[in-house]
Copies of this chain bind each other. A is one copy, B any other.
Amino acid sequence: MANPVLPSSGVLSPLGLDSVRVLPGFWGDRIALNNDVTIAHCQEWEEREGWIGNFRGERPRRGREFSDSEIYKLLEAMAWADHPGLPALAEIVAQAQEGDGYLNTRWTGSRYTDFEWGHELYCYGHLIQAGVARLRMHGEDQLTEVVTRAADHVCRRFMDGDETCGHPVIEMALVELYRATGTERYLEMARRFVERRGLPALADIPFGRAYYQDDLPVRQAQVFRGHVVRALYLASGVVDVAVETGDQELLKAVESQWERTVARRTHLTGGMGSRHADESYGEDYELPPDRAYNETCGSIASIMLAHRLLLATGDARYADLAERTMYNMLATGVALDGASFFYVNPLQVRVPATPLDGVNHAAEGGLRSPWFDVSCCPNNIARTLASLPAYVAAAKDGGVLIHHLTPAEIRSGRLALRVETGYPWQGSVSVRVLEDGEGRVGLRVPAWATDATLAHVPVSSQDAPLPEGPVIRPVGPGYAYVEGPWRAGDEIRLELPMRPRWTLPDRRIDALRGSAAVERGPLVYCAESVADEPPLAAVTARVDPPEEHETDGVVELEVGAKVSSGGDGTWPYGAAPASQEGADVRLRLVPYHRWGNRGPATMRVWLPTI
């Protein structure tokens, strides 16, 4: 089955690209743009920067020590997209592999001399994920061979001993290769990498061992900490190991770390990461909107983890966070042109970005850029969007659960369904049964949808006037089910409440005190002010129901606000209370994922209300 995650057990069974076809709509359009534009964009930049040339032996070697991994993420994207350029690129990679399976353009000749920063096992991890994707989409070929040789080399070199890599990802990659090939040593190797972490396995560094989750064994940790991508890739691998080895204690450990992290270390957009210096989580409730790091890759890792936990447990809260993160982080990370990207995703930008013509070396937030010195994010977006259909639905007990409400055709067991919806802009979702069949159909009602309704409209009653035919019933957050059997033409109609809503922060989040944000459906909104007019530093919003305006299918909002001046401009602290005097303005709010497409602007998700 064509899916990046295929656990052999779990409450849910994933449905892959061969079972789910995403149709034009919010995600379908993005997948098409990704496969048509973004993949080619990434390949072009990797050639230009010399990162592909490194595999051809071109010297001096160019790029950072982990640049090989970008080519592997691109290969994975190509695999899911069934891209015709894959074999040629895989051939270039294959030429660089050494006789014993070792493959790394940076460390050849000085293998395994820097576990803390060398990223060798990290690169294998992404290589293996690409190979698994290719195997599942296409069957065995040269890339499969490269990957199994590399994985066998890793097992030989690392099965005994206490070494691991400063950047996790090898763990989940090896489990998936086990799942794809049945070779048990891959699972055992992954298990050992998980268990030896935190004993500790790596040297202390100025950031501390928490940076790479080597401060504590994973079973003892209480919360995700340190470098966000590292933490979430590791946790994903831990779930995979736990599921395959039946280790409930290990699974519970990750669930409880996830729970505390979501409650205390996650931004409204689903983004994670509050510190720039080490790209890390901060302390509990350290969630600054302006200096939020929220690396795009961290959000992808969070979606990967949530999806694994969802499959293992069937708990809708994981799908809720995945949805929040998909609409407000993944969709934000790539611009509407498919060729410029955010690496860092703050929730407030005070100074409009200065446009750059080329690589954004600093990768600061506020500037959609074609490339970065560290370009993990574009390639990670490419492979994630290319495989996105695999996240949409799952099978359970002969039925289907639809996690993500997007136009799609879904076939599983004796069910063939077509989802039609204008979601996330509209709240109506129609699931039409395409063929006679059987099995329970579940639709996820998001946590914010506290007054949704569900109607089952049999094909036989569709000409009859409502409400005689269908039964409209209120449904709460979680999965709302309708039982079969089904006749072709039967329909399920879900109605989600799409009124914009004001959202307040937990009072322990100091950085957000006295402010509120607007959400509508799964979308977080923000004030975006091109050329900072009105000046967003000076607004105080009125917490009244926002007005809606739909243009070209996109819903924008408007709220009332005052624009006030600050103090006297000398010393910014004093006895006088903060002034709220000022002119009335209307403040335009756009979906956060769309900001930064209109030129340099200031932006804020959290609006002052006092």
Chain A residues packing against B (C-beta within 8 Å)? 204, 206-208, 259, 262-264, 266, 268, 275-277, 282-286, 288-291, 317, 348, 350-351, 361-362, 373, 447, 501-511, 513-515, 517, 537-538, 564, 566-567, 569-580, 606, 608, 610
Contact = CB atoms under 8 A, between A and B. Distances in A.
Contacts of A289: 510
A507 B289 CA distance: 16
A207 B259 CA distance: 35
Given A361-B206, A507-B579, A510-B348, A570 B259 contact: yes
Contact of A362 (B208, B262, B447, B575): B208
A566 to B, nearest CB: 5
9 contacts: A262-B571, A263-B570, A284-B350, A504-B575, A506-B573, A510-B515, A510-B537, A513-B514, A513-B608
Contacts of A517: 573
Contacts of A268: 573
Nearest to A262: B571
A362 B578 CA distance: 37
- Tell me what chain A mostly uses at the interface: helix, strand, loop, or mixed: loop
Contacts of A571: 262-263, 447
Contacts of A317: 570
A251 to B, nearest CB: 19
A538 B578 contact: no
A289 B282 CA distance: 14
B572 A505 contact: yes
B574 A504 contact: yes
Contacts of A350: 283-286
Given A286-B291, A503-B575, 10 more contacts: A208-B362, A263-B570, A266-B572, A282-B291, A283-B351, A290-B511, A505-B578, A506-B578, A510-B511, A510-B537
Given A502-B575, A572-B264, A575-B504, A511 B206 contact: no
A289 B513 CA distance: 13
A13 B350 CA distance: 42
The list of the 7 closest CB pairs from A to B, nearest first, reads A506-B572, A514-B514, A507-B578, A513-B514, A276-B277, A277-B277, A506-B567
A285 B538 CA distance: 11
A362 B394 CA distance: 45
Contacts of A576: 504
Nearest to A570: B263
B206 A504 contact: no
Contact of A505 (B282, B501, B564, B573): B573
Contacts of A264: 572
Contacts of A572: 263-264, 266, 285, 505-506, 508-509
A576 B504 CA distance: 7
A574 B516 CA distance: 10
